Each structure stands twice: as structure tokens, then as C-alpha cells.
Amino acid sequence: MVDANTIMLYVIVGAVFGIVYGLRRIYVIERKIDAIDKRIAQVLVKKRKR
């Protein structure tokens, strides 16, 4: 049988990995949004020059 300390260790390690995974996904999504913003800005600048 597994003792309470081992279970707590697994819970804490799982929580840490979950937080890291979530932050990584947020970072990737922010980079994609920044790329889209840059493209939109380029299109707007080209339209103003016309």
C-alpha cells in the first residue's frame, strides 16, 4: 500500500507539471497572437500608402 507522503508527492509533482504545461501553452498562444498582430499592422500600413 502507498503511504500518504508518496501520494502527496505525486499530487505536488503533477500540479507543478500542470502549471508548467499551462504556462507553456499560454506563451505559445501569445507568440501566435503577436505574429498575427504584426501581419495586420503590415496590411494596414500598405493600405495607407495607397
The pTM of this model reads: 0.61
Per-residue pLDDT at 46: 86
By C-alpha distance, which of 16, 18, 13, 20 is closest to 5? 13
pLDDT at 36: 95
Measured at the CA of 29, the angle between CA 25 and CA 34, to 5 degrees, comes to 150
Q: What is the predicted pLDDT for the residue at 1?
A: 78
**33-44: per-residue pLDDT in tens?**
999 999 999 998
pLDDT < 50 positions in the chain:
none
